[in-house]
Amino acid sequence: MAKPSAPLKKKPAPKRPATPPQAAAAFDKVAPEMDALERDALLPINIDIPRAVSQVLGVLPGLLALRPLIAERLPTHDVGLVDRLETYALAAWYAHLAWLSSGGAQNGLKQLVEEAVPLRANLLGDAEALARRGLVDAETVAEIRTGNGHMDTANDLVALSALFSGSWPEIAGKTAATEEEVRRAGELGPELLASLGVREHGAAPGPSEAADRRARAFTLFVDAYDQTRRAVTYLRWKEDDIEAIAPSLYKGRGGRGASSSDTDAAPQVAPPAQPGAAGAVPPGAAAPAPPGAPGAVPPG
């Protein structure tokens, strides 16, 4: 029987999302799954999609390392969700960019670039200073430094925003970067990518169609991560390191308040019957076996 893996040596850091052509390929790959979703199963989009994608891409290696254990200990859990998580994340990223593009650029490309370049430089310099003090991941910062060109600048802003946001409790007051700059970087990166020509991949959808595709891609992405997080929570309950391996996308937000994976408690509900469905157990109730565990009792 496989043994639980050792605790992580360091906190995973956010990663840069893929370029639009790569993300478009992921979007096309999951299009049949998106089309199959019932409209009433679509989740409300109440988190920042670029930041969530960057965060999940950062923790993906750790989740993949746990894949054999998930398959062994939770035989009825869809372990393929782990395999498809990167594809779902990139599809959600592309759908978000296409949605931005469908609304028409509010600012011209030149204006966006003029704002983006110095903002990237300032945040990157601040990140390098923090990395030298061990407050953020040095490898991630070095990877961002290698970027060049407008597309890399846009992706770098998304990664920098996620990096600062994820570490803000530890770095607040220790950096010249401001919360407003971090927030703006998260907005500006996708805006710049949209302006650079996401529409080149096929015909540009209208605003309503783009919004529907965005909601469908987002639902696939969040549901896959949520269910994977539940499985990992069960397997790593004694180690108490779920927030390092698979942190909640909704931490600190109202979000999907009924979802067990958005709390600090053990998984207490069976997996949703369809994307987005979830139930809650009153505080203090005993946690039953998780989705797919031997002896689990299906929801009544």
- Which of 77, 46, 23 is closest to 201 using CA atoms? 23
User: Could you tell me the pTM of the whole model?
Assistant: 0.67
Percent of the chain with pLDDT over 90: 46
pLDDT band at 19; cut points 50, 70, 90: confident
Q: Where do we find the tokens 């910062």?
A: 141
| Tally of residues, the chain | 300
Give the tens place of pLDDT for each residue, 84-116: 999 999 999 999 988 887 764 445 778 888 999
For residue 124, what are the CA distances in angstroms to 146, 167, 298?
Answer: 11, 14, 49
**Using one digit for the tens of pLDDT, what is the confidence trace for 124-136?**
999 999 999 999 9
Dist CA 165 CA 118 (whole Å): 19
